[in-house]
Amino acid sequence: MKQRITFALLMGVVTTCIISFGLVAINLGFGPRFVGVWLRSWFYAYLMVVPAILLIAPLVQRFVDRMFAGK
């Protein structure tokens, strides 16, 4: 369980950082508000994605396991 939580926390940092940076850059550009908006967006995205990783990842893993079970 510790590994699963650690994975979710680290994966959440990486994915939310990349996606929030890209979307804020696309939507606002690199103006004076960029850093503040990006950090706020990153924070809220992180709060949403970690529970999603913890809940959804096992379901996706089971689905993939079934897809490749007969191969």
Quote the number of domains for the chain: 1
What is the H or E stretch that residue 47 is in?
Answer: helix 34-67
Please give the residue range of the domain that contains residue 46. 2-67
pLDDT tens profile 4-62: 889 889 999 999 999 999 999 999 999 999 999 999 999 999 999 999 989 998 999 99
CA angle 12, 16, 17 (to 5 degrees): 115
Q: Which pLDDT value is given to residue 56?
A: 92
